[in-house]
């Protein structure tokens, strides 16, 4: 094994993205700290009156064999931050090795963080592992979105990846709300999609944590009403004011439409969602 201080091979990216949002003297959110290294690049932030919108760009074609990526994003006390991406993330074919990504998102007291990237597309023979940890203070708020494509559908390449591992831990006020792990081959999810009558399946997961989310909120039934043929939606309450919403759609357009509708509905309870993602 290489020593921890030994640099990785030249063809491998050991990229990182570190962002910390803070509040300036005028009450606006700014990036108090930012550090990034290829393949990540951060565009100029934009304060839209509700949140600071930041676009994260992958300056390379996508994720390659051997890449080791790290994201650490924090919304400080009272800060309001929205992080998104302009294009899908692609995990390319890997002959033997794997690529890994460690993600940490934290919200401090009175802060708000929304993370809404475009979907992950695992290409043929890719092997990708992603671990995400969410940590929210007692009066912090988080809206986290994670989406997965079945592959390059337009090229007739579905469910062709070698292995995909996705982990998610979420805690609020120091209490664990959620711990889940997915570890599967593409053909395993293909059989599951076929069991539900779909050749394709586009997956979406939305985790919401906020003291504004109360168990008897009428919003709950409105979310359930988004369920329809070709787009299955299942909300679940987590303890300590947390909700998770699962979406399984038959096409990318249906998934995108369901997530947009969900975001509009939830804006009634979570005012920071009033920001327009298209302005990014």
pLDDT band, very low/low/confident/very high, at 137 (cuts 50, 70, 90) = very high
Predicted pLDDT at 8: 46
What confidence score (pLDDT) does residue 11 get? 52
3-class DSSP assignment, residue 154:
helix
Per cent of the chain over pLDDT 70 is: 94
d(CA 113, CA 68): 24
Task: Using the predicted structure, report yes or no on whether residue 116 has a pLDDT greater than 50.
Answer: yes
Token pair listed for 23: 């509040």
For residue 6, what pLDDT is reported? Answer: 46
The pLDDT value given to residue 207: 98
Q: What average pLDDT does this structure show over 207-230?
A: 90
Q: What is the mean pLDDT of residues 98-117?
A: 97
Residue 238: half-sphere exposure toward Cβ, Cα within 13 Å: 23
pLDDT of residue 194: 85
**Distance in angstroms (rounded) separating the CA atoms of residues 179 and 7:** 33
- Residue 110: count other Cβ atoms within 10 Å of its Cβ: 17
Highest mean pLDDT: which of 49-53, 56-60, 72-76?
Answer: 72-76
**DSSP letter (8 states) at residue 177:** E
The predicted model gives 186-192 an average pLDDT of 90
pTM: 0.93
Cα separation values, 44 from 34, 52, 55, Å:
11, 10, 8
Q: Mean pLDDT for the chain? A: 91
Burial (CB < 10 A; 0-12, 13-18, 19+), residue 172, is buried
CA–CA distance, 32 with 156 (Å, rounded to integer): 44
Q: What is the pLDDT of residue 279?
A: 53
Dist. CA 51–CA 47, nearest whole Å: 6
SS3 278: helix
Average pLDDT over residues 172-194: 92
Query: What percent of the chain shows pLDDT beyond 90?
Result: 77
CA distance 144 to 22: 19
Overall average pLDDT of the 126-145 stretch: 97
From CA 50, how far away is CA 47, in angstroms rounded?
7
Higher pLDDT, 135 or 10: 135
pLDDT of the residue at 197: 80
Contact present, 112 and 141 (Cβ < 8 Å): yes
Tell me, what's the pLDDT at 5?
46
Residue-wise pLDDT tens digits, 13-37 = 789 999 999 999 999 999 999 999 9
pLDDT of residue 125: 96
Coil, helix or strand for 179?
Answer: strand
Average pLDDT of the residues in 153-180: 94
Assess whether pLDDT exceeds 90 at residue 59. no
pLDDT exceeds cutoff 50 at 4: no
Q: CB atoms < 10 A from the CB of 11, how many?
A: 9
Q: How far apart are CA 221 and CA 225, in angstroms?
A: 6
Long-range contacts of 219-222 (CB under 8 A, 24+ apart): 219/265, 219/266, 219/268, 219/269, 222/265
Structure tokens at 186: 């593409």
């Amino acid at each position: 094994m290489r020593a921890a201080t030994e640099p990785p091979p030249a063809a491998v990216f050991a990229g990182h993205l570190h962002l910390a949002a803070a509040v300036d003297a005028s009450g606006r959110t700014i990036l108090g700290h930012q550090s990034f290294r290829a393949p990540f690049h951060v565009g100029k932030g934009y304060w839209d009156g509700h949140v600071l919108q930041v676009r994260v760009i992958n300056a390379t074609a996508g994720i390659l064999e051997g890449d080791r990526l790290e994201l650490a994003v924090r919304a400080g006390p009272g800060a309001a931050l929205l992080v998104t991406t302009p294009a899908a993330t692609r995990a390319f074919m890997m002959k033997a090795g794997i690529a890994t990504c460690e993600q940490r998102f934290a919200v401090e007291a009175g802060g708000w963080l929304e993370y809404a990237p475009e979907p992950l597309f695992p290409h043929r023979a890719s092997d990708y592992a992603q671990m995400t940890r969410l940590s929210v203070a007692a009066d912090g708020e988080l809206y986290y979105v994670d989406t997965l494509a079945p592959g390059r559908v337009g090229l007739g390449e579905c469910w062709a990846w070698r292995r995909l591992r996705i982990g998610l831990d979420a805690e609020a006020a120091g209490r664990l709300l959620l711990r889940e792990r997915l570890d599967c081959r593409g053909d395993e999810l293909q059989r599951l999609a076929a069991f539900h009558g779909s050749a394709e399946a586009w997956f979406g997961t939305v985790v919401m944590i906020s003291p504004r989310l109360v168990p008897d909120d009428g919003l709950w039934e409105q979310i359930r009403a988004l369920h329809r043929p070709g787009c299955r939606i299942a909300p679940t309450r987590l303890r300590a004011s947390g909700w998770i919403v699962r979406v399984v759609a038959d096409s990318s357009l249906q998934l995108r439409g369901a997530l947009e509708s969900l975001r509009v509905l939830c804006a009634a309870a979570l005012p920071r969602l009033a920001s327009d993602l298209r302005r990014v």
